[in-house]
Structure 1
């Protein structure tokens, strides 16, 4: 009888929490997937609003003339950069929605709490404000510049064989990876193998967001979008420090990469969705700390 009472009480609480509809609007990207067998398969830009292609297979651009190689590299990479930037900004928007909700209600919606604490785990932090700083994307010009350096403008073996744009290492024998031809101090080096260019860009942004080495960079990118002010703060990305950041500055400037900072995803590939949260149980604010 006692168990039945508690069961009925639980049902009453659940029903009472569902009386008022709670909705949240998010904007999803509907990408196009493609494989690149030749340079003709790379979609060209006709204006600053571009199609969000996710390339799952690429080719080496090594043999192309320098000018064409750089153009094709940007056309191959920029759609994934914009897609990841969009998704990160959508996460920040959701966090702001949670903050607004908590300013009025002293409880979490179940889906919000799951979303929030999953991000806390992924990004190694425990405060919403810090999480927003870690998620904030930096400009495409910086990403393109680093990608150009790390992949030789799409010429590296890791780029061609593993969609690894940034040469990010692998320390986990259980993940997909590629062995480097040359090790270090008689130790083998492996780099990660990704399913797509988009997955590589996503992992790059997460690396910048998670590691303490980039804390100064993250804090400053929350205050400015100027790539030339931010680039010097990436000195810990490479063992050569300031030599690397000076070269990155030169790559961005000499190739006019900042013009791509104003590019956007074509609106016809964006779809607004209204998520109904009203059927989800609420947790007291102090019950999840």
Structure 2
């Protein structure tokens, strides 16, 4: 655990230029040749703006972690040990990087690069999942009260309608009944940590892509106005999409979670997840990757690559990881 003298990590975005990511299979196998391929962008994202309640980096995010060496020092001082986290003996220190270290994508030591990448992204995924999990618990409790015949309070109805609107449901004037809850509940749920880590690695080339370095974009999400993102170099003539940029890595992660939970293209992903819940099974990144055929133009090959990344890097070890409640911080 972090020494008691550590009170706050203060981290600030920093922006860089990087090589494009290499072939999917070589990337999954951690071969250095991955820096040569053109980057993958999702086929179906159509969100113009991040969700209204998207997360920002911690308010006191002031220290620019420009180099991998600096990040390693922070991890050491905070007691951040991926091996102990894998084994379930450690909670995950709440270290929130606003941007990846600028030299992360160019590191030659593959094991070191992977360790630092997962250490940067893991707390952000857990934080975004925690927010969704709290909303899910509140939704289930409200559902139980309604089905038990309890009176609907106006504040509860207002909250439910706002939640439904945020997840793409037109619930204005709708009855608050079992149908509404059955439609909304499959959308308000967590993303398996293993799957989120694998997608972040593939889509960002382990932090090497210019979208990750210049725009904190870990998941290649699209927008449709040029001011909202970065133009892909391989964009065909006449196409208008850009890869959305974010003020912080946490903004990218929160937007990714919201998109998988709300975009029509990922309905199969949500149905698979709901089936696991109904069966009383834990969320499984390998299983749920099968619901992401629409995420990239290469379809099944993309799903296969995600599963390979999960397996080779034992990312399922992190599916039960738990975030520390207090913000890990350091002063200087």
TM-score per shorter chain, which class? 0.7 to 0.9
Please give the root-mean-square deviation of Cα atoms over the aligned residues, in Å.
Answer: 2.3
2:183 counterpart residue number: 130
2:233 counterpart residue number: 181
Matches within 5 A, 1:91-240: 91-104=135-148, 107-125=151-169, 126=171, 127-173=180-226, 176-224=228-276, 225-240=283-298
Q: Offset at 1:113?
A: 2.0
2:11 counterpart residue number: none
1:242 to 300, 303, 310: 300
Q: Work out whether 1:62 is the aligned partner of 2:91.
A: no
Structure having the larger proportion of residues in strand: 1
Calculate the TM-score normalised by the size of structure 1.
0.76
2:67 to 6, 21, 38: 38
**2:225–2:242 Cα contact (<8 Å) kept:** no
**1:54–1:196 Cα contact (<8 Å) kept:** no
Could you list the structure 1 runs, at least 4 aligned residues long, displaced by more than 6 angstroms after superposition. Answer: none
2:92 counterpart residue number: 50
Matches within 5 A, 1:260-271: 260-268=318-326
1:254 counterpart residue number: 312
Q: Which residues of structure 2 form unaligned runs of 5+?
A: 1-56, 86-90, 172-179, 277-282
Structure with higher Rg: it is 1
**1:57–1:196 Cα contact (<8 Å) kept:** yes
Secondary structure of the residue aligned to 1:266 is strand
- Superposed CA deviations along residues 180-209 of structure 1, whole A, max 9, x for unmatched, are 233223435411111211111111111111
Secondary structure of the residue aligned to 1:138 is coil
Q: Offset at 1:35?
A: 4.0
Q: Distance in 1 between matches of 2:225 and 2:138?
A: 32
Secondary structure of the residue aligned to 2:97 is strand
- Superposed CA deviations along residues 125-181 of structure 1, whole A, max 9, x for unmatched, are 2422222211111210001111111000111111011111001111135x6322223
**2:224–2:240 Cα contact (<8 Å) kept:** no
Q: Which residues of structure 1 form unaligned runs of 5+?
A: 1-29, 271-289
